[in-house]
Structure 1
Amino acid sequence: MSEVFDEEALRAELAEDRPPHAGPWSQLGAAVVTGLIGVAGVVGSLGLGLGRLTAPGPGLWPFVVSVVITTLSVVLALTGRRGTDTEKFSRASVMTAIAVLTLVLLALLLPLIGFEIPSLLLTFVWLRFLGKESWRSSIAISVATVAAFYLLFVVLLQIPLPRLI
């Protein structure tokens, strides 16, 4: 009997730390947004060319992933309105949006100025501002990470990444 009480007390304690429930419209909104992303991925991957199973084209895997995203979005739209696991937007939501925005900026800057500077800035922003690391460790880890990626992908594996030099 005490185990049941402890379990109920734990659930109550965990519920206090959660943001309020966002409601069914949030589930539907999430389904629509991810569905649009999935459809855009399908269209973009078709533009790259799917190829054949024996000779896959560059768009085959993005196509597969986009179809999965679109399918799961439809499932969420149909069943998610009854779910109670969504949370209202909070500071954590803004942090996630900033993280996604920095990834988009990385993708946009990569072909223009190479991978070094955008990767360094992305790593630094994530460590310092999203992860609340110290300035010193953020700088050191960012530089070390980009150097390690450079050595691994450019020097050792000889992958033709867009680079400054």
Structure 2
Amino acid sequence: MSTQKAPLLSRFRLSSLVVVLIGVAFLVMSLQLPIGTFQTPGAGMWPMLVSIALIVAAVFLLITEPDGADYEPLTRRTLISVLGFLWIAAFVVMFQAVGFTFASLIFSVVWLRFLARESWKFTLIASPVFTIAFVLIFSVALGVPVPHDPVLSFITGGRF
């Protein structure tokens, strides 16, 4: 019964190290924004906290896990997670260009139909419902400032 030691830089450890580096990069970028306080957070507060959590989690995995044997292997289905992340990034750019309402509708349609593989019927019914919910929650109830939104401006007579 020989116990085989895991290589120092296995693919699993290398991916954890890459996550640490990404976390550090995001932390550096978040520190360039105003942090504020917990009572009045600035634009960099949440990115900073998420970056720190990402770094801590990846370092923890580097220290405690010798290899990735206990984890699900990467498959073609893993690509859906990567595409979902990229689609969220595209949503941020899109809502600055075309407004929150229209971007939310497009985001929902693409997410439900192509990433979640829902039927067209469900997608076309649920997307407007989700969009209305997004607008009511973020723009109306929480008062989150969003870039100029032509749809909201039209519906509310310029109030948003």
- TM range, normalised to the smaller chain? 0.7 to 0.9
**Which residue does the alignment assign to 1:59?**
44
- CA–CA distance in structure 1, aligned partners of residues 37 and 137 of structure 2: 31
Are the equivalent residues in 2 in contact too, given 1:27–1:76 (CA < 8 A)?
no
| Consecutive unaligned residues in structure 1, runs of 5 or more | 1-23
**Which residue does the alignment assign to 1:9?**
none
**Which residue does the alignment assign to 1:15?**
none
**Which residue does the alignment assign to 1:119?**
104
| Consecutive unaligned residues in structure 2, runs of 5 or more | 1-8, 154-160
**Larger helix proportion of the pair:** 1
1:108 is aligned to 2:108:
no
Change (3 A) 1:33 1:145: same
Amino acid corresponding to residue 57 of structure 1 in structure 2: G
**Which residue does the alignment assign to 1:82?**
67
**Which residue does the alignment assign to 1:26?**
11
- CA–CA distance in structure 2, aligned partners of residues 94 and 54 of structure 1: 38
**Which residue does the alignment assign to 2:29?**
44
Higher relative contact order (CA 8 A, sep 6+): 1
Deviation, 1:106, is 0.7
Q: Which TM-score applies when normalising by structure 2?
A: 0.74
Moved more, 138-147 or 79-88: 79-88
User: Cα deviations across residues 60-95 of structure 1 (Å, max 9, x unaligned)?
Assistant: 332222112112212222333334123332122111
**Which residue does the alignment assign to 2:157?**
none
- Percent identity over the alignment is 34
**Which residue does the alignment assign to 1:145?**
130
Deviation, 1:53, is 5.7
**Which residue does the alignment assign to 2:113?**
128
1:73 is aligned to 2:41:
no
